[in-house]
């Protein structure tokens, strides 16, 4: 629903995270990496502007033997997005805040997976008529 927001998040993560950042993870991608995942979007309109309340999920993946690498990556993601002044073309971003994070070990016993969800409130710039 909001491709401009995804582009902004991709750019912020690419600048702030030491791992590769993907929208689509290619076959054979080397660990560690971060992937921009699922999004929900709810209208957040006013009488004269369109707005959105968007949740974006960011996944971090590691094959490090413990959780340290994963947690470091997740902190980088947090610092790149939480309460940061995101510039989204055509929109004013009111806020971007992490609302949830979780770490887990996948069933293969080797892969560590981190999930973070960010809530973004944004509205279109008002246009004069």
Tens digits of residue pLDDT in 59-116: 999 999 999 999 999 999 999 999 999 999 999 999 999 999 999 999 999 999 999 9
Q: What is the pLDDT of residue 101?
A: 98
pTM: 0.93
CATH class of 3-124: alpha beta
SS3 assignment, position 59: strand
Q: How far apart are CA 125 and CA 78, in angstroms?
A: 26
Residues 34, 22: contact at Cβ < 8 Å?
yes
Q: What is the pLDDT of residue 97?
A: 98
Which one has a higher pLDDT value, 126 or 91?
91
C-beta neighbour count of 18 within 10 angstroms: 9
Residues 12, 22: contact at Cβ < 8 Å?
no
Per-domain residue ranges for the chain?
A: 3-124
Structure tokens that stand for 58 in this block? 């960011």
The DSSP secondary structure of 49-118, one letter per residue, reads --EEEEEEEEEEEE--SSSHHHHHHHHHHHHHHTT-----TTEEEEEEEEEEEEEEE-TTSS-EEEEEEE
């Amino acid at each position: 629903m909001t491709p401009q927001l995804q582009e902004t998040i991709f750019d912020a993560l690419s600048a702030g995270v030491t791992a590769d950042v993907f929208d689509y993870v290619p076959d054979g991608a080397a660990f560690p990496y971060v992937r921009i995942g699922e999004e929900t979007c709810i209208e957040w309109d006013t009488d004269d502007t369109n707005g959105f309340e968007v949740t974006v999920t960011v996944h971090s993946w590691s094959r490090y033997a413990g959780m340290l690498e994963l947690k470091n990556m997740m902190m980088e993601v947090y610092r790149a997005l939480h309460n940061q002044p995101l510039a989204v073309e055509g929109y004013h971003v009111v806020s971007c805040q992490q609302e949830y994070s979780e770490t887990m070990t996948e069933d293969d016993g080797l892969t560590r997976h981190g999930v973070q969800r960010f809530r973004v409130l944004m509205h279109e710039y008002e246009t004069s008529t």
